[in-house]
A and B are shown apart, each in its own frame.
Chain A
Amino acid sequence: MEKIYARTKGLRPDVVSGFCPGCMHSTVIKLIGEVLEEMNQMDNAVAVLGIGCCGLHMEYMSYDNVTAPHGRACAVATGIKRANSKSLVYTYQGDGDFASIGLGESVSAANRGENITVIFINNGIYGMTGGQMAPTTLLGMKASTAPKGRIAEEHGYPMHMCEILNQLTAPYYLERTSCNTPQNVLKTRKAIKKAFQNQLDGKGFSMVEIVTSCPTNWGLDTMKSLDYLNEKMLTEYPLGVIRDNG
């Protein structure tokens, strides 16, 4: 029989996923691995992992990776890329990591037009630490540190990172995608590939924001969390290319 599909070489074949059932992190890391293989970059890639569930796969990634202090991935990636510009350097960060504690590093790297790629996982909540409010948490959405839900007067409004970075001159490519349908999974794959290609072409800062679910901390099963993503998350975070200087 002909083998038509295999697990990406980016992940060790003999290990079970460390993510919760229904978590889209596993879809995204698979896509990244596939794209790196397709672009023949697996041996040239350095992933900079944020702190959070985004690092749950570090023990079974088979290519180079560096774990950054919480929020500092864009600074660490800057150092790696500037010191060794031939590497394909990407950060993989959650919303707490990228948009809360790391906001300064994130905006500054984008503003410098660093020639790196950011894969930003927006699931609207802190995953690993157990469902605390994130900058991307929707209004009314409950969190373990916002027991009555997010209230604008107290917590402000959900942060739209693509749009915020779009205020800067330097970023080259900003796109928001999701993994809620097979079609969107393919679009995400394409966006990741484009962002990587931009880096190889020396174009500067690219970011793909991927809107995903966190069934565990949303307190919903896999199917219901998909509904929530479709109805609520994607209303707040519309998909599409926010900037493409190409």
Chain B
Amino acid sequence: MERVFMKGCEAIAEAAVRAGCRFFAGYPITPQNEIPEYFSRRLPEVGGVFIQGESEVASINMVYGAASTGTRSMTSSSSPGISLKSEGISYCAAARIPMVYANVSRGGPGVGSIQPAQMDYLQATKASGNGGFKMMVFAPATVQEAVDMTFAAFDYADRDRNPVLILCDGVIGTMMEPVVMPEMKGDAEIAAIKDGKKSWAAIGHELDYAKRGWIQPGNWSTAVMQQGNEEAAAMYDNWQKNDVQVEQYKVEDAELVMVAYGISARIAKTVVDKYRADGKKVGLIRPITVNPFPYEAIENLNYGQVKTILDVEMSIPAQMLQDVSLAVKGRCPIETCLCSGGNIMKKEQVMDAVAKLI
């Protein structure tokens, strides 16, 4: 397979096009501008539609509309823009509309800094809008993973009729790395995905009350509402059983286990290798899906052997720490190694944090 050298943002956009994404609406914000810019050139080539919305609020609602027709649709932004999209995301989740979006996140809160950060973890995994909905959230650590996850995300979204989030950061979004692109889905396949499988889409139906396309982000009936919430909750439980993705790196005999995702995990992994070269028993658990979170992998560690867990993330205060604590259940101390505000985690800092614990 041919390696191409691509910027994370552009690779995400190309992967989406290959997965059959034919509608994108977005609004400029650093460090994800190359996603809308790429789509603006690429989508017209494949008969798709690109719109620069007048705001993030407009863009997510354009996607809500486009996805309501069954068209594979996407939006993207960075942290403060994602906050503005939260209303529309909640509407998509409520109306069970499949769509994919990417958060190329940066330092926060507020307008923050344009530099890379991992400060939207809780927003992404726990409350991306009102009403307690959840989404599958993928956290790529390489440009290749960003591509593979984006490509797969559209299938997950369609399977569940639910939004899917690609949670990356300014490093993954702006750096270039070699990638192998998945094969482009053919027009027939894309047409089949759109028209064949989505009987719920609002594209006009024969006059029949039961068969009409009916996209509803709420209901007057509290009973209907509760039923919808219960169905969604059952789906979330299923993710936890079937869809968790995690990388466990040299944890079998580890006495110190780091937990890190995305760009931090990449750095943590090189630290594991450094210490392993000196015979030190250090390992890494890397959540690949941060929701569903790999609680089991952490829960099932041998706490007779593991002395300390080290939570490594680019957020102050720590956020993923909450999920890690839920899994560790007080069986060993959890320490943190943190930076934030747009500072990229330094290998030296992680090396030092580990040195203090072994």
* A–B: direct contact at CB < 8 Å: yes
A80 at the interface (CB under 8 A from B): no
Report A168 CB to chain B, min CB distance, Å. Answer: 19
- Interchain CB contact under 8 A, B54 and A146: no
A100 / chain B contacts, CB cutoff of 8 Å: 54-55
Report B61 CB to chain A, min CB distance, Å. Answer: 13
Tell me the nearest residue of chain A to B40, going by C-beta. Answer: A145
Contact of A96 among B28, B50, B56 (CB under 8 A): B28
Per-position binary interface string of chain B over residues 88-127, scored 1 when its CB falls under 8 Å from any chain A CB and 0 otherwise? 0000000000000000000000110000000000000000
Contact of B54 among A103, A128, A129 (CB under 8 A): A103
Given contacts A130-B28, A132-B28, contact A69 B111 (CB under 8 A): yes
Per-position binary interface string of chain A over residues 136-149, scored 1 when its CB falls under 8 Å from any chain B CB and 0 otherwise? 00000000111100
Q: How far is the CA of A191 from the CA of B208 in the complex (A)?
A: 63
Given contacts A100-B54, A129-B29, contact A51 B40 (CB under 8 A): no
- Interchain CB contact under 8 A, B33 and A129: yes
- Interchain CB contact under 8 A, A70 and B80: yes
Tell me the nearest residue of chain B to A129, going by C-beta. Answer: B28
- Interchain CB contact under 8 A, B111 and A132: no
The CB with the most chain A CB atoms within 10 A, among B30, B37, B110, is that of: B37
Which size bracket describes the interface of B in this complex?
A: 10 to 19
Q: How far is the CA of A17 from the CA of B63 in the complex (A)?
A: 40
A67 at the interface (CB under 8 A from B): yes
- Interchain CB contact under 8 A, A147 and B41: yes
B36 at the interface (CB under 8 A from A): yes
Q: How far is the CA of A87 from the CA of B263 in the complex (A)?
A: 46
Number of residues in A with C-beta < 8 Å to the partner? 20
B64 at the interface (CB under 8 A from A): no
A146 / chain B contacts, CB cutoff of 8 Å: 40, 52
- Interchain CB contact under 8 A, B33 and A130: yes
A205 at the interface (CB under 8 A from B): no
B27 at the interface (CB under 8 A from A): yes
B29 / chain A contacts, CB cutoff of 8 Å: 129
A237 at the interface (CB under 8 A from B): no
- Interchain CB contact under 8 A, B54 and A135: yes
Report B46 CB to chain A, min CB distance, Å. Answer: 15
The CB with the most chain B CB atoms within 10 A, among A67, A70, A96, A130, is that of: A70
- Interchain CB contact under 8 A, B111 and A101: no
Tell me the nearest residue of chain A to B52, going by C-beta. Answer: A145
Q: How far is the CA of A135 from the CA of B53 in the complex (A)?
A: 10
- Interchain CB contact under 8 A, A144 and B54: no
Report A136 CB to chain B, min CB distance, Å. Answer: 12
Q: How far is the CA of A96 from the CA of B37 in the complex (A)?
A: 16
Per-position binary interface string of chain B over residues 215-246, scored 1 when its CB falls under 8 Å from any chain A CB and 0 otherwise? 00000000000000000000000000000000
Contact of B111 among A67, A129, A133, A145 (CB under 8 A): A67
- Interchain CB contact under 8 A, B33 and A101: no
Q: How far is the CA of A67 from the CA of B113 in the complex (A)?
A: 13
Report B340 CB to chain A, min CB distance, Å. Answer: 20
B52 / chain A contacts, CB cutoff of 8 Å: 132-133, 145-146
- Interchain CB contact under 8 A, A147 and B40: yes
- Interchain CB contact under 8 A, B111 and A144: no
18 contacts across the A-B interface (CB closer than 8 A): A51-B111, A67-B111, A69-B80, A70-B80, A70-B111, A96-B28, A101-B56, A129-B28, A129-B33, A130-B28, A132-B28, A132-B36, A133-B52, A145-B37, A145-B40, A146-B40, A146-B52, A147-B40
Q: A69-B80, A96-B28, A135-B54 known; 18 other A-B pairs, CB under 8 Å?
A: A70-B111, A71-B55, A101-B54, A101-B55, A101-B56, A129-B28, A132-B28, A132-B33, A132-B52, A144-B33, A144-B37, A144-B40, A145-B37, A145-B40, A145-B52, A146-B40, A146-B52, A147-B40
